[in-house]
Structure 1
Amino acid sequence: MLADHSDSFVAYPSRWQCAFLAFGSLAFVIVGLWMLGAFGAAPTPTIQYSHLKILIAGWIAVTVGPLAAMKWISKLFVTAEQLRIDAAGIRYSPWSDKTIPWSEIADVTTWSRNAQKRIVLHLRHPNNFPGKGLAGRLASASRKLTGGDVTITILLTGTDRSFDEAMSAIMRYRRSS
């Protein structure tokens, strides 16, 4: 029997959000270049921000900004589902291609920082659902930070759905599982 996905929660990439985040990443590079003095005088050091701190921040911006921009530009061409929440469980494609069944999800909590809310899945057997790519490589740090096994970021993945919509779908399907 095939699963009925007609009322599934599905989040797809949002082209306008990805474009906005790509431009923001490039703006980050411009600020970094300014901090390095590429456009004339660099920011004046203060007691709080020494010359070394300004230079380090500038180099971080110049290094990380283009990488982030490339990531967001590449997402402009992605059409696959990023997040699916339905009766079968949760599939978050930046984490894994496998659906995590509700029976494997011990708890769902939230974590926020700098006005960014994240959904945190606490798994019964986390080794059965290893992360892929960058998410998998950062899993240990994410666990230490959030206390959970899988961290789902709705806005930062540039999707067309909201945090509240995703949480509503989780509550609906968790009750019925």
Structure 2
Amino acid sequence: MIGQTFIARYSFWRLGLLALAAVAFVALGLFLAGVFGSTPRPGGEWVGWLSAGFFGLCGIIVVRRMFSGGSEVVRISATGIYFKSWSEQTIPWSEVVDITIWEFRRQKSIVLHLRHPDRYPSTRLLGIMAGANRALTGGDIPISLTGTDGRFAEAMAVISYYRR
């Protein structure tokens, strides 16, 4: 945190752990699909292939992020909130109607509720899942600090400062 600005960058080591988890899930999926011998559950091979494909894609994304350099992923400042995984636009405070917290298995996300969400469309992969995220979290933009060097409490402290 610099003054009243919160900046989070990708953490090579945290992303490395996520990449290892992705490899483990791909291996488990391939095991379930029967690649390493007979499948433990005949007829359910599709679950293994689905798992291997999904976690393989996740692993590729994580590895790409590991080597993306030290660019900012999240920046919360006087000008607003920037979240690289959503778009290159900074969302000004005047467009943020509410900010809520969504939590799943001790992982917290910051959820932005926008006055005019159509003015801030996603230009990234996260935008493809926007409808599902909206149904799940009830907001427009979910911001996760997973895989970054940022701390949730610090981000919320800066948000509270500007939301006063």
TM-score (norm 1): 0.85
Greater Cα radius of gyration, structure 1 or 2: 1
Q: Which residue of 2 aligns with 1:60?
A: 50
CA distance in 1, matches of 2:31, 2:94: 51
Q: Is the 8 A contact 2:4 2:158 kept in 1?
A: no
Q: Which residue of 1 aligns with 2:127?
A: 136
Q: Which residue of 2 aligns with 1:172?
A: 161
Equivalent residue in structure 2 for 1:127, among 111, 115, 118: 118
Secondary structure of the residue aligned to 1:144 is helix
CA deviations over 1:44-87 (Å, ceiling 9, x no partner)? x4xxxxx44x4232111111122111111111112210000011
CA deviations over 1:137-162 (Å, ceiling 9, x no partner)? 2212211221111110111xx11012
- What letter matches 2:138 in structure 1? G
Secondary structure of the residue aligned to 1:120 is strand
What is the aligned residue count?
162
Equivalent residue in structure 2 for 1:159, among 128, 135, 148: 148
Q: Alignment RMSD, CA only? A: 1.5
Unaligned runs of 5+ in 1: 46-50
- What letter matches 2:56 in structure 1? P
- What letter matches 2:139 in structure 1? G
Q: Which residue of 2 aligns with 1:48?
A: none
Equivalent residue in structure 1 for 2:21, among 24, 30, 35: 24
Equivalent residue in structure 1 for 2:76, among 76, 80, 85: 85
Identity %: 43
Secondary structure of the residue aligned to 1:173 is helix
